[in-house]
Structures are given as structure tokens and as C-alpha cells.
Structure 1
Amino acid sequence: MTEPRSRAWAGLALLWLLAVAGLAWQQTGFWQAARLDSDVLALLPGAAEDGRVALANQRLAQGSTRQIVVLLGHDDWAPLQRGAKAFASRLQDEPRLQALPPDAAVGDAMAAYAPYQRGLLTRDQRQRLLDEEPQALASLALARLFAPGAAPDWAADPLGLELGWWQARAGRGPAPREGLLALDSPVGPWVVQRFEQRGSPFALDGDRHLQAALDRAFADAQAAAGRPLRRLQAGVPLHAEAAAARASQEVATIGLGSLLAVLLLVWLAFRSLRPILLVALSLLVGVAAGVAATAWVFGQVHLLTLVFGASLVGVAEDYGIHYFASRQQDGAAPRPLMRRLLPALALALATSVVAYLTLAIAPFPGLRQMAVFSAAGLAAAFLTVVLWFPFLDRASPRPSRFSRWVAGSLARWLRWPRGVAGIAIGLALATVVGVGLLQLQVRDDLRSLQASPPELLASEREAAALLSLPSPAQYFLVEAGDPQALLRAEESLVDALHELRASGTLAGWRAVSDYLPSQSRQQADAGLRRTAEAAILAQASAVLGESLVAAPEPDAWLGPDTWLAAPASAPLRPLWLGEQGGPGWASVVLLEGLTPDSTAALARLAESRPQVRWIDRTASYSALLSHYRQMMGWLVLVAYVAVGLALVLRFGRAAWRALLPTALAATITLGLLGWLGVPLDLFGVLAQLLLLGFGIDYGIFLLEHDGDPASWLAVCLGAASTSLAFGLLALSATPALHSFGLSLLLGISLVWLLSPCFRPRREIGALAR
């Protein structure tokens, strides 16, 4: 029987090796840039959004995902001009950046609008034509006629309405100036340069290549200017590159730190190179399988998943450590020992995988990625230990001083005191923890998933203010049955926005109807202009002694199809959704200069308009995070009840000894978070769920294997490495991962310390019976 069994084990091991190698080879393309993702919103569910809102979000994101905007400023235009040209020249040969030409030239845009210009008026022009007396308008027009440099076609536009319409729109952004795109501000002029990123910024080499290229170009710009220049920059690629660089550092810190800690513990316990190499092999296979499985299931791997997955090293080593601890204590042959350990190891795998898979209960793509990564990695490490260790291990490690000390520490561990002393300690602990719980704050903030450099965020905010960039996270969605009804509904909304801007509630907006008025408004404006110009030309004809004829009316009115085909519409095309994404027609109105007070006013404005919806993605995601935090909180309580019932069935009245340490550790952890000022979010609640899955094993051990030095050694080493792994995760710059890691660091350490305090004082067999 021995030889057939050996062959069977060898066949399984070979199949496992081929499966892991094939999956890893298939997913080698993971390391390609397109397979990595750093978009925070990709972590969150989008099922709550209807098709039209999802389309709007996609359109708004497409226009900016690869663009970078750089502003160079100085008090004096001449050195600024020299510096800006040197900046652009240095980046001409940069393989990762491509300079973007400015938007459609003003001349080309004016030519495209020329046939329809008589139907285009600004709000102020329209109001002036309605309010001013014909005599006053005629005097103004005649003053323009006799002014130096009067236009030769004065009769076609005596009031200069067309030029005024263009000036009103040109004033909303940078304008061409001596071959550059310039913008005036209270602190002086700025030159605006736009670039498009080539390739992907998700290079996990720890370097910020795009930022380095911009820094080199800025150094050349300052040298050419001969004076210090101001610089602002903004763009999704810069945030993505910063996230990739940060993730590279954190993966190295957490992954390598965990690996070194595990290997150090293995060396101290076994003082042999073979356990170190084999445990390292199981960890390597586990992490590789986790990456490959995640890329295979989801097509992409989020950077936060990699950072989270780096902590897997501190959990996956448990199986190898259990094997070598038992091998060290009794010296059994590898294959019989593995058969004896297999039920316990399989149970440990099942509880850990179930704990990780609970992350997938909430419909969060990011959490599901983390669950798949961890479950696949643990399963791969487990199978590597079970299938390969019996063949690769040839000699049992000799007990070391460290392993003997750890194995014998259980006998020296203090128990929770009985009587008055135990009650006093419990009351004191309850007081300290209770005060901490009262200070614990709850935070459901989308920004907890971001870790962009503060200087980049500050630069982007200032650049957005100068360029009047609207927010893509908060906007109006306007819907109607046909294109003209849509434009009329948008015009009504924009009229209300004018009042909010006049009151200081809003800085501005971007709307298609400002450049594509409805046909009814074009006709009304053309009639208003025709009436005013008829009176002006009649008076001018009398003054000049010649008959002046008004310009002819347009043959057609500007419509959506004509406007969309014109190059001048390119910046606003993403706002025109048309018939896509839902019934009827839709468009988006973006807003500038939003504040918490203005968002409340804008939400009320939408409530009074049936064709307008206020979309606040930030508030929606915060509400979603709050909902799932509460739902997972109740799930944690249900899990405690279910685990408690299972323990009662196994251990009877002694079940509390296994459950109480984990419950106490979870409560104390929440109190400590309150004392430390770390808010509780969804990830903190999920940490409590994982704590139950990991921590309950220590209590079970004390009831199942009372006094077993090999098992106690394995549990101590496993708990120490798991605490270290999640402790390193607490170093993450991402607030959500920081609170998650800190919660598990405190929780697992406390369970480890508390579980022996509640071990039974008499034989387990009597208690179980």
C-alpha cells in the first residue's frame, strides 16, 4: 500500500505544480499596465446607478483619464513666455507625454457659428434689448459707427452683439496669446499647457516617471526664464502614478516585512535552513496564485488589492509552521504526520477562507477582489504544504531554545483571577474601554480610500479654481422627450443658476444650451434683434442720409446634429448624452465652485423641476458605505451567535472559554480606536469579522489540545506573524487600509494574549462530557 499511495501523492503534487505554473503563465500579462487599476470608484459598486447616470459618469471620466494640465505663472509676461516655450520643448521628446493642441481655433469656431449667429444672444444682451429704449440703443450703435476702427460691416451688427457673444464665452477660460494659451489672474498671467499620457502610469517600480519628466521640464523653464516660476499641475495620470508608486512601496514594506518576520520566527524556532526555504516556497506560491486568480476572475487587479494581499504572507505561513512544529516535537515520518495533521489543517483553511470570503458579501468589487486574492492564496499555500512538504522534507528539525521556551510558556501563562480581583480587573477594563467607545467616531467617507500626495491635491484645487474646472462628481442630469424639449429644460435650469451665481452661491457652470440654444430661443432672440436693429438702422439712415439694410435672417437654425459635427463643440460633446443610456434624451450640466452650502441649494433646485435630477456621487457613495457598514455590523453580531451555538454543540458549558477572548478582544480594540482617534468605517467593521474568523481558533485550541506543546508553538508563531503582517498593513497611507490593519493588529494580539487566560483548570474531557 505504501508504494501506490506514494505514487498517488506524487501525482497530485505534480498536477498541482502544473496547475499553478499554467495559471501563473496565463496571467503573466497581469504585470502589463492595462491590468492594474487605481481608480477609487472602481472599488465601489455601481449597481445602484441607472444606465443613464452610469453613461454620464463614463462620459465625464473619458475626457480626463489620460490628460494632464500644467500651469506656469509669473508676474512678467516676457520671462513667462520664454519659460513656457522651454517647458514645452523639453517634453517634445518625452515618450510618456504628448502635447495636446488647443481647442478649435476661434476663427474656425466663429466660421462654424456664422450662419446661425443672428439667433444667438447672451442673457445680458437679451435683457438689454428688452429693457433699453430704442433711442438709447440707436445712440450706442451710432457711437460704435463713428468710433475709430469701426467695422466695415457695421450695418450687419450695429450693436456688436456677435462679438459680445464670443467674448462672453472666451472669458470662461484661457485664450491664445502670442502662440501660447494664456490666462490672466490677480497674481499675474498663467500659461496653460495640456498633455496626454502615453502608455500607463501603473508601473510598480516605485518611480514617478511622469512627475520626474515634468520636474525636468520645469527646471529648463526656470533656467530659460531666468527667474523663479510658479507651477500648478492636475490630472488623473498624476494621481494614478502616485498611487502606483505608493503601492509599490507599501507592497515592498508589507510583503517583504511580513516575509522577513515569518522567516525570522521560523529560524528562531527550528534553526534550520530547510523549514525556511519550504515555508518561503509555500508563501511564494500562495501570493503568485492569489495574483493570478484575481487577474483571471476580474481581468484587472486594483492597487489596493495588491497592498492588502501583501498581508497574506502573515497568514499563509500557518500551515507550514504547524507541520514543522509537529515534526520537531515528535519526529514522525513526513507522510504519516501529514495524514494526521490534514484534518486540523483543512479545518483551519476552511475557517480562514470563510472569514476572507465574507468580504465578498457586500457587492464591492474591491472587497471581492481582496476576498478572491486571499482565498486563492491561502488555498494554494495549503496545497503546497500538503502535497510537497512530505516529499521535500527529509529530516525533522531539532528543538531550539526558543521553541522550547515558547512551547513551555502555556504552563506559565496567567489565568484570569477569580473572586474580587477578577471583578475589579473587569470593572477597570470596562471603564477604560467604555470611555474609549464613547469617543469612537464613525466615518463613511470616500476619501478614506484615497492616498494622493497632499501637495498634488492642493495644486489640483488651485488649478481647478483658475481654470474654472467643474466637478465631475456633482452635476445636474436633464432629461426630456426630444432634443428641443431637452434644450428648453436646460435653458430654464440655467436661468435659475444665473440667480444662484448672482447671490454668490455658485461660481459658474458648463451647459450645452449656452452654445446650442433651443430653436424657440433662437427664433425669439432673432426676432428681438430684428426689432431692435430695424429701429437703429432707421435712425442711422436718417443721420447718414442713406438707406441701410439689415442683414438677412438665417436660412436654418442651429440644431444638435450640426452643432455636434462642428469642431467647436468638442469640449462639450461629453455633456450631450442624446438618446443613449435610457428613454428619451438627456444632457449634463456641470457646476463650478461648489461648496457644502451650494450643494444643498442645488439639490433643492432640482427637487422643484421634474425634468432635472441632482447627481451627487460623493454623497451617494458615502451613504452606500454607511449602509454596508451597518449591514456588516449586524452580520458580525449574527456570526458571533452562530459561532457560539457551534461551540456549545462541541464543548457544552465550556464553550464560553473559546468565544469570550475574541469577543473581549473585539470590544477592547474598538475602545482603543476611540482613544487613538481612529474613526470606524466599513473596513474597520470587516476587520472585526475577520478577527472572529482568525481569533476563535486560539480559543478552540485551548479546549481541543490542552497542554500540547507542538500545537501551542505553532499557534504562537502563527499569531505573531499574522499580527506583524496586519501591523505592517497599518502603515499604509490609505486611511481605510490603515484602520483595517490597526484593528486586526490590536485584535489578534489581544486574542492571543487573552485566550490562555481563560483556559480550563481541569481536564477538558470532563468538561466536554
Structure 2
Amino acid sequence: MGLITFCYQKFQRRRGWLVLLLLLLLATAFWKISELQIEESISAMLPDGDSQVSHDFQLLQQAPFARQLVIHLTADSDIDSNTLLTATDQLRSALPVELFNKALSGPGELSANPMLNQLGEYLPVLADAEDLQAIATRLSPDAIDRSLAADLAQLLQPQGMILKETIRRDPLQLEKLVQQKLRYLNPIPEVRLKNGHFLSRDGHSSLILADTPISITDAVGSQALLDAFAAACRQLPEGIRANLISGHPYTLANAHTIQKDMKLVLLVSGAGILLLFFLFLRSLQALFVYLLPLFSMAMALVVTGTWFEPISGITVGFGAVLLGITIDFGLHVYFALRYGRCQQGREQLLRAVSRPVLFGALTTLAAFAVLLSSALPGQRQLAVFAMAGIVTALLLALLFLPHFIGQNREQGASSVLQLRRHVYDRIPALRIVVLLLWLGIVGFAAVQAQHLKINAELRQLSYLPKKLQQAEQMLGETWGNMRNRALVFASADDLEGALQRNEQVWQHLKERGLLDDVVSLAPLLPSQQTQQRHLQAWKVFWQERQATTRDLLQLSGEKYGFSGNAFDPFWERLAGPELVADPELLDHWGLGRVMDSLLLKNDEGYRLLTLIPDQQEMITRLGSEFSTLPGITLVSQRRFSQQLSHEIGVDFSRFISFAGVAVLALLVLLFRRLPEVFLALLPVLTGLLVMFGGMGLLGLEMNLFNVVASILIIGLGVDYGIFMVCHGQQEEHLASSRAILISGLTTLVGFGALVLARHPALHSIGLTVLLGISAAVPTAVLVIPAFRPKRH
């Protein structure tokens, strides 16, 4: 470590220049920080890249209601449905169109829709083999007779004049076969229509669906959207309430929570470390130790902001933790130079302490470096942020801080370690008690760790206000499972290919009797190839039956008083021009919103969606079957959570393995003897076991953020182990146990502040690391000396 002492000698007479350089760097850092963009959402902790999990997540975002605004209106029991529907129209009109695009409260009056009059014209290209079989049963003499009797009964009703042309055009009610296909375009299971509006079955709820240009990750835009919605809701009559269900309220709630948590955590952690300063350091020179992590955090923000744009608010909140990490190096240098003892003076102390400080920083850097390969951008940000802060703190601790520490106070250096070592020497049994207690805790933690589970539910990583959860629960109870369904994507370069593959999906589900609660365009929009096949089958069908059917209609018609030409429109339709169903037709029929939800186009081609129930058994079965079909992809929120849980487990094992190998290699390089390597690893192993055991005991689940917590424990725990083992080997007394105790307290203060956070991400990191560090510090300070006291 001669380079450190060489730099110390060179800068010894140039402290003013060092201060000026640091002030310039600090001013530049704060200028850069003022320009940083902070993303106050959970999106940084969602997968990106080319992984299967990332691919499935991107597809899940294309679910129809994942991209729409759903406004749920509810009325008190004493308010009739007509009043509710009137208020629904008023609210829809009050919503600003620049924020609420294509606001829709229902399909409108069906009588004004050209679809009902035109559906029958497209029966030749939409009728499949089962439809033809159903038509064949309606062409028997008895069936025709019953149909015309029913037609006559309808004509004798008050609405008979309205139905006259419909009956002439379709005396056998064949159009119902096409109308039945419309039910597969309804994504809202528990809905009925009244006066062209969406109305719940109990008549006390209505819906408004809308699009918006505001991204769900845009906190500022989300605020404008919610403000406009609140303003529109003020005109609702008493007894009628409206809730907006979308990702935007969650984004805003998370943004506000992260903002509050950042202020609280930084304030509490800063005040806590300041309190430790007054309790344990009590020296003006120690103020530089206190300022060191603040400078490190500023530089870490600059480096991370240069690498990533924007920075996650969770990463910024992690700055409180960095206060506890980066202060460790300064504390060790401070206590070594201030209270250490050796024969050759300050330079020897600096040389002695620089060895464990340098290797401690390297092991911590190695532990965080493994996160750079994470599929989560937030974890990569945390890695860069922590590594930049650690490097800054290391350089400041070894090159800057030694010049601003006062004279050595050897006479006051009766450290905690010195007193404890004497106790161990005088009472050897105390060492056995400490070791037995340690073994008991480790054993108990190992048993409890077996109860630890992985939870990859992304919603659990966001702040979920109870009011929003209740609104979404009420939506599901009223309208059925309209938001949480599995998606089957049929993809191709052109529309025809996508339609053909979409038919494959439909036929697959139909053959297995799984069409209940399915939403698909396939019955109403087959491929052109299928439509031509249907048309040819239709022609053959009627060539064989037209003459007989005409005679039967004529005979039964005379029986019930119909004129000889009453059903000419029916025969004219059969002889009419060949028509083709296409997306433009469905849009003309008022199904444009359904088309936009289920038919997607991008630069890669076309995708058609089929929505199916997200049921475990069905998804498992269909997942393996669809995987053999080209262009077909099944994406399930349930399966996505399982895949993400698996990925977390794989990533955790990979990160722990890589970090473990890197740390082990550095320890072997440092100590070159296995007993010392084992002792240095004791705080790490104990901290991890107690963290896992504590989580199992408390019923906490492993999530994306606990992976970061594990890396933190590895990095910090091995630092403690290195210092205590080096302390036992070196002739110099570096006051290491006192430095470890205080650095552990600063870390606990940093993480203790995170425990106060309301956001699950920050709170999760704080609580789990608090468990691990609470075990790692006593292990370093008490257990390592119990195995091997300092040499005389």
C-alpha cells in the first residue's frame, strides 16, 4: 500500500488545493443533480431486454383494459337506473376530450345500428359447418311450420309493423346464428344493455370506457388526468359516485409516496448519523467523516444520471442506505489514525488500515457488480449507483480524509476490543458461551429459512392505496373478470396470416369445449380463405335444398295467411352478391373499439388477441399445446408471476454464486489461508441466514428487492469480516472493533430509516437488510474474536 502513503506525502502540504478541488467537484455535482430526471414509478423494477419474462410482460401491457380508462359509476339503492344513465351521459360529456379520447358509455341504440339489418347478408361467409347443420334442422316441414307460426304471432303484436320487413327477410330466424357470434365480442361478462348504455345486472352501476394519450408512467400527466376527472365528477348528483380504474392513479400514488419517503428517509438517516457523530466521535475533525457519504451520494447520482435516463426514485431513495455504506471506509481510517497505536507513526497506521479498507471496497464492488447483468433496469441502476458511491468514498477516505484528522490520541485508545479481549483471556468460558449462543441462533435461523417463499407479484412491489384496491375489487364484483384474463396472441406478417392463426386458436378452444367466457374476433372475422370456403359450402348447401325449402315455405305460408310473394326478400338475399367481412365492415357496424382492442398492428405485422379465463389448469394445458403452433403465444398474468418467481430464484442463485466466487477469490488473495478466509466469511453467512430465517419467521416473502438486500449483506458483512481478521493479524492496533461497531450502527440507521418508508420497495430493502446487518455486526465484533483473539 505504498501508493497510499506516497499520495499522502505529496498532498500533505497542499491541503488547500484538495479542498478547492473537492468544492469544485461538489458544485459541478449539484449542478448536474439539478438537471436529473427522476422517474417516480415502479417501472424500473420491471423486466426489460430479450428474456421470456420481459417479452411476456410487454405482451401483457397490450391487454384491452390494461390500456384503457374504466370509469365505474355506482348509485345508491334508492336511485333508479334512468337517473344513473342520465348522470353517466353528463359525466361523459364533462370529460375533456384531449385527456379522455373516445369516451363510450355503451354501444348506443341498437335500432340505429346498421349491423342488425346487415348481419344476415354475411351469413354465407360466416356460417361454419355447425351453422349449416343447425340450418338444416330448421328446414324440415315441422320446423318451418313452427317458424312461420311464430312469425305470425309476432306480427299480431303491437310491434308487428316494425318487424314485418325483418320477418320477410328472415322468416326462419337464420340471422340469429350470426347474432350469437356477437357474444364472443363482449369483454364484460356481467353486463346488460339499457338505452344503449352499459348497465350492471342490479341496475345500480354503469360504465364509461375511454382511451388517453397519457402514459401510465407519466406522473405529471396522471395528475392532470385525475384533476380533470375530479372536476367532472363534481357535477354528479348526490348519491352517485364515480371511480377511475387504470394505472394512472397507482402511478400518482406511488410518485407521491416515493417523494414523501425520499424526504423522510434522507432526513431520518442524516439526523441519525449526525446523532451517532455527537455520541461517539465528538471531534471537529470527525465532521469530515460525516460529510464524506454526502459527497459520495452526490457523485453517485451524477454517474448514475449520466448512465441512465431517467433515474428511478427508488434508486434515489437508496441514497439513504449509501450513507450507511460509504461512511464505513471513513470511520475505519478515522479511528485508525485517531486512536490507533503503532511504533512508526501515522504513515504506518495509514498503510495498515488501507489494506483492509481497499479489499473491503473491492469485495463490496464485486458483490454489487453482479447486479449489472440483471434483467431489471432498476437493479442495474442500484448497482451503478452503489459502485460509484463506494469508489468515491474509497478515494476520499484514503486520499483526502487523512489530511484532515487531528493528532493521534493513543492514550484514549482503550477500545471495546481491548477490554473484551481481556475478558476472554480471564474468563475462557465466556468464549464458549458466545460461540454456543451464535450456533443456536444460526441453527434456529436455518430451520426458519425453510419456510421462506418467493413472491413475484408485481403489484406487491408498488404502493397500493386501500381506496384504489377497493374500487378495483368493486369493479370485479359488479362486472365480472374484465381486467384479469390470459391473452392468446396470433401473429403474422400480414392480416390474412394473422386471421388464419387466430382461427387456429379458436378451433383449438372449440374442440376442447373451452369457449365459455372467451373473447375473440374469429367467429365474426374469419380469414378470406375461410370465408371463401364457407361461401362454397353455403352454395352447395342451398343448391341441394332451395327448391324443397321454397315449396315448404309456400305451403306453410298459405296455411298462416302469408301471400305468395311474402318471402321474396329472403330468396333475393340468397341470390344476392357475394360479400366479404373485413375490419372496415366491423368498424362500420360500430365495433371499432373492439377491433382496436383485439386487432393490433405495428412495424412487425399484425396480432390478434383472444381473451380466455386465467385459470391454472387451463393455462398449464393450453400453454404446452399452443407452444407447438407457429405464431401463437399464450401470456397469462398467473403464469407470468410463476415465471418471474422462477427468474427471481434463478437470478438470486446466480447473483449469490457470482458474488460468492468473487468475494472468495479476493479473500484468498488477501489472506492466503483458509482459516482466515472462513473467519472473514462468518458475518456474511450469519447475516444471510438470519435474514432468511427472520423473513421465514415473520412470514415475509422473497421479492425483487430482497435480492438487492442479499447483495448488500454480502458486501457489508465481508467488510466487517476483513477488518476483524486483519485486526487479529496486524501488529498495529487500528481500533477496528470500535469502527465496525459504529459503522454497523450507521448502516442500521440508514436501513432503519428505510423501514419507515411506506413504499413496499424501500420498506422491503430496509427491513430485510436490517435483519441481516443486525446479525453480521455482532458476529464480526464478538464471534470472530471468540474463535481467534488478537495476537500479542
Which band: TM-score by shorter chain?
A: 0.7 to 0.9
Residue 77 of structure 1 corresponds to 81
Deviation for aligned residue 1:752? 1.5
1:631 aligns with 2:640: no
Counterpart residue type for residue 297 of structure 1: W
- Cα distance 1:705–1:570, how it changes in 2: closer, same or farther (>3 A)? same
Equivalence map 1:289-300=2 (5 Å): 289-300=299-310
Among 546, 555, 562, the residue aligned to 2:565? 546
Among 310, 313, 321, the residue aligned to 2:323? 313
CA contact (8 A) 1:254 1:728 kept: yes
Residue 3 of structure 2 corresponds to none
**Greater radius of gyration (CA):** 2
- Cα distance 1:604–1:700, how it changes in 2: closer, same or farther (>3 A)? closer
SS in 1 for 2:635: strand
Counterpart residue type for residue 588 of structure 1: L
1:751 aligns with 2:757: no
1:379 aligns with 2:400: no
Report 1 or 2 for greater relative contact order, CA contacts < 8 Å, sequence distance ≥ 6: 2
Equivalence map 1:80-479=2 (5 Å): 80-81=84-85, 83-84=87-88, 98=100, 100-102=102-104, 110-111=113-114, 118-120=121-123, 128-135=134-141, 136-137=143-144, 138-139=147-148, 140-141=150-151, 143-144=153-154, 147=157, 148-151=160-163, 153-154=165-166, 155-158=168-171, 159=173, 161=175, 164=179, 168=183, 173=188, 181-186=197-202, 188-192=204-208, 194=210, 196=212, 198=214, 221=236, 224-225=237-238, 227=239, 229=240, 231-271=242-282, 275-276=286-287, 278-279=288-289, 281-326=291-336, 328-329=338-339, 345-383=357-395, 410-411=420-421, 417=429, 425=437, 428-429=440-441, 431-443=443-455, 445-464=457-476, 466-467=478-479, 470=482, 474-479=486-491
CA contact (8 A) 1:269 1:399 kept: no
SS in 2 for 1:487: helix
Unpaired segments ≥5 residues, structure 1: none
- Cα distance 1:79–1:562, how it changes in 2: closer, same or farther (>3 A)? closer
Residue 727 of structure 1 corresponds to 752
Residue 609 of structure 2 corresponds to 588
CA contact (8 A) 1:727 1:745 kept: yes
CA contact (8 A) 1:480 1:611 kept: yes
State the distance in 2 between where 1:22 and 1:182 align.
58
State the distance in 2 between where 1:52 and 1:386 align.
46
CA contact (8 A) 1:270 1:400 kept: no
Among 521, 525, 538, the residue aligned to 1:512? 521
Among 607, 610, 623, the residue aligned to 1:603? 623
Residue 709 of structure 2 corresponds to 687
TM-score computed with the length of structure 2 as normaliser: 0.77
The percentage of aligned residue pairs carrying the same residue is: 21
- Cα distance 1:26–1:253, how it changes in 2: closer, same or farther (>3 A)? closer
Between 244-253 and 210-219, report the one with greater CA deviation: 210-219
Counterpart residue type for residue 308 of structure 1: F
- Cα distance 1:298–1:8, how it changes in 2: closer, same or farther (>3 A)? same
State the distance in 1 between where 2:555 and 2:442 align.
92
TM-score computed with the length of structure 1 as normaliser: 0.79
SS in 2 for 1:513: coil
Residue 619 of structure 1 corresponds to 642
* Superposed CA offset, 1:327-378 (max 9, x none): 6547999999989866654444333322222222433322111111212233
State the distance in 2 between where 1:418 and 1:389 align.
38
Equivalence map 1:713-724=2 (5 Å): 713-724=738-749
Between 681-690 and 513-522, report the one with greater CA deviation: 681-690
Unpaired segments ≥5 residues, structure 2: 1-6
Between 674-683 and 322-331, report the one with greater CA deviation: 322-331
- Cα distance 1:406–1:490, how it changes in 2: closer, same or farther (>3 A)? same
Deviation for aligned residue 1:68? 5.0
CA contact (8 A) 2:91 2:232 kept: yes
- Aligned-residue CA RMSD (Å): 5.0
CA contact (8 A) 1:516 1:559 kept: yes
CA contact (8 A) 1:433 1:671 kept: yes
SS in 2 for 1:759: helix
Among 721, 724, 742, the residue aligned to 1:702? 724
SS in 2 for 1:508: coil
State the distance in 1 between where 2:718 and 2:193 align.
68
Between 632-641 and 671-680, report the one with greater CA deviation: 632-641
SS in 1 for 2:212: strand
State the distance in 2 between where 1:558 and 1:237 align.
37
1:664 aligns with 2:723: no
- Cα distance 1:338–1:632, how it changes in 2: closer, same or farther (>3 A)? closer
State the distance in 2 between where 1:483 and 1:85 align.
36
Deviation for aligned residue 1:716? 1.9
Counterpart residue type for residue 512 of structure 1: L
Deviation for aligned residue 1:260? 1.4
* Superposed CA offset, 1:256-279 (max 9, x none): 222111111112223357745x45
Task: State the aligned residue count.
Answer: 744
Residue 4 of structure 2 corresponds to none
Residue 52 of structure 2 corresponds to 49
Equivalence map 1:474-485=2 (5 Å): 474-479=486-491, 483-485=495-497
SS in 2 for 1:69: strand
